Structure 1
Amino acid sequence: MTPRGPIIALVGADGSGKTTTGSALLSWMRQDRPVEFCHLGKQTGNWGRAIARLPLMGSRMDRRIVQTTDKARTSGKTRFFPALIIFILSMRRVIRFRRMLKLNRQGLAILTDRYPQVVVPGPMDGPGLVFSEENSGVVQALACLERGLYAWMASYRPDLVIRLNVDLQTAIARKPDHRRASLERKIADVPQIDFGGAPILDLDATEPSATVISKAEAAIADVLQRHDSQKLEPSCSC
């Protein structure tokens, strides 16, 4: 049986430098082993910004979507159609996660952008639906099923989580097209996520990119070395 490869999760709010850091780490890791990059997010933010750029009704439609999702997360009250959309988007993440697991079981090392978690509901890769007695039985069932799926994904703990922490002003400067309130919430949520006790490397994403990447490479090198050593250990046939 092929031993699974290590999973390195790169997490952080928009504007924390995940794309820059992830690209550098992927190139570096591929120098001595096969590595697959897996984006595990739903990418709904990209959709929202695309809708907002539509002529005439785009900005109004975007505001309506934001109001609906914010209401669902804060009050817990969600009508059937918005709940169904939220659940379908979560299933999109589940499909991506299953593909990642398949690659990982083939022995490939995995570098992920974003990683599902169940500790903090909301936009930082947590469940989108919350329980409320005001919701219908169908919506409650969707919320229960969604939370179960996130709990299942979160049960696969990464071998290392690289958590990029950034302040609001830096994030806004890097992502001027993003909503301020959304960035603020994500930045506040990032430190609260523990990923089931997985090892976490906290990095200050406001430091120079070369410094952030160097620190991340050192931590990943330790993980890869331990993983390679374990593969070389003889198994007991007693």
Structure 2
Amino acid sequence: MSVSSPIIALVGSDGSGKTTVGTELLAWMRESRPTEMCHLGKQTGNWGRAIAKLPLIGQKMDRRVLHTTRKARKEKEIHFPQAVVIFALSMRRVIRFRRMLRLHRQGLCILTDRYPQTAVPGPMDGPSLTCSKRNSAIVQALAMVEFGLYGWMASYVPDLVIRLNVDLETAIKRKPDHRVESLERKVSDVPKLSFNGAPILDIDATQPLDTVLAQAKAGIESVFHQYDARSAETPVAC
């Protein structure tokens, strides 16, 4: 029986360079073994920015969405229509995660952009629905189901988490079209993320790209060596 390939997770706030670093790492990893990139985010931010750019009504709609989100977070109350949308987006992530598992079971090495976790609720890949006495029974039920799904996804512990850390000033410079409030929260949340005991490689993403890539590759090579050693020790069936 062969040893399966590793799962490498790349996490960080917007502006940390995940897309650039991920693209470079994917090409490099594919030089030595079959690798697939899996995006495990919900991409709601892309939708929000697209709405904000709509002529005439875009800015107004964006402000209304932001106001509603702030109010729900402050009052810890989520109305049913909002909860359905949030739950549907989480199910989209579950579908992506199941696809990743299928590819992994086929023996492919996996590199992920983002990874679900339960340590920190909210935009950094954690559950978005919160249990509150102010919510209706059906919203409470959706929140419990969502948390269970995130717990299931988080139970698949990555072999390595590469955590790209960046300061708010750098994130704003790199993502000037993003809301500062959103970036601030994500930058603050990243150091708090944990992944059920997965090894975490912290990298200062404000460094030059070559330096960031060298550190990330060193961490991945260490994981590859461990898997190769395990494969060499596995007896071949007659």
TM-score normalised by L of structure 2: 0.96
Q: Percent identity between the aligned chains?
A: 65
What amino acid maps onto 1:52 in structure 2? A
Once the 2 structures are TM-superposed, how far is the Cα of residue 229 of structure 1 from its aligned partner?
1.4
Determine the structure 1 residue equivalent to 2:207: 207
| Distance across 2 between alignment mates of 1:234 and 1:46 | 45
Once the 2 structures are TM-superposed, how far is the Cα of residue 64 of structure 1 from its aligned partner?
1.6
Deviation string, structure 1 residues 81-119 (Cα, Å, up to 9, x no partner): 000000000000000000000000111000000000011
Distance 1:44 1:36, change over 3 A: same
What amino acid maps onto 1:139 in structure 2? V
Determine the structure 2 residue equivalent to 1:174: 174
Determine the structure 2 residue equivalent to 1:137: 137
| Distance across 1 between alignment mates of 2:191 and 2:162 | 12
Once the 2 structures are TM-superposed, how far is the Cα of residue 2 of structure 1 from its aligned partner?
5.1
Once the 2 structures are TM-superposed, how far is the Cα of residue 70 of structure 1 from its aligned partner?
3.1
Determine the structure 2 residue equivalent to 1:162: 162
RMSD: 1.3
| Distance across 1 between alignment mates of 2:87 and 2:219 | 35
Once the 2 structures are TM-superposed, how far is the Cα of residue 236 of structure 1 from its aligned partner?
9.8
What amino acid maps onto 1:135 in structure 2? N
Q: Does the alignment pair 1:44 with 2:44?
A: yes
Structure 2 residue matching 1:187: 3-state secondary structure: helix
8 Å Cα contact 1:40/1:112 also seen in 2:
yes
8 Å Cα contact 1:83/1:129 also seen in 2:
yes
Determine the structure 1 residue equivalent to 2:223: 223
Determine the structure 1 residue equivalent to 2:108: 108
Once the 2 structures are TM-superposed, how far is the Cα of residue 65 of structure 1 from its aligned partner?
1.6
| Distance across 1 between alignment mates of 2:123 and 2:177 | 17
Q: Does the alignment pair 1:25 with 2:25?
A: yes
Once the 2 structures are TM-superposed, how far is the Cα of residue 72 of structure 1 from its aligned partner?
3.0
Deviation string, structure 1 residues 147-191 (Cα, Å, up to 9, x no partner): 000000000010000000000000000000000000000000000
Distance 1:69 1:4, change over 3 A: farther
8 Å Cα contact 2:2/2:231 also seen in 1:
no
What amino acid maps onto 1:134 in structure 2? R
Once the 2 structures are TM-superposed, how far is the Cα of residue 130 of structure 1 from its aligned partner?
0.4
Determine the structure 1 residue equivalent to 2:78: 78
Deviation string, structure 1 residues 38-62 (Cα, Å, up to 9, x no partner): 0000000000000000011111111
8 Å Cα contact 2:3/2:227 also seen in 1:
no
Once the 2 structures are TM-superposed, how far is the Cα of residue 235 of structure 1 from its aligned partner?
4.2
Determine the structure 2 residue equivalent to 1:93: 93
- Which stretch has the larger CA shift, 113-122 or 63-72? 63-72
4+ aligned runs moved over 4 Å, structure 1 = none
The count of aligned residue pairs is 237
Unaligned runs of 5+ in 2: none
Distance 1:225 1:76, change over 3 A: same
What amino acid maps onto 2:92 in structure 1? R
8 Å Cα contact 2:132/2:140 also seen in 1:
yes
TM-score normalised by L of structure 1: 0.96
Once the 2 structures are TM-superposed, how far is the Cα of residue 213 of structure 1 from its aligned partner?
0.3
Determine the structure 2 residue equivalent to 1:13: 13
| Distance across 1 between alignment mates of 2:71 and 2:87 | 16
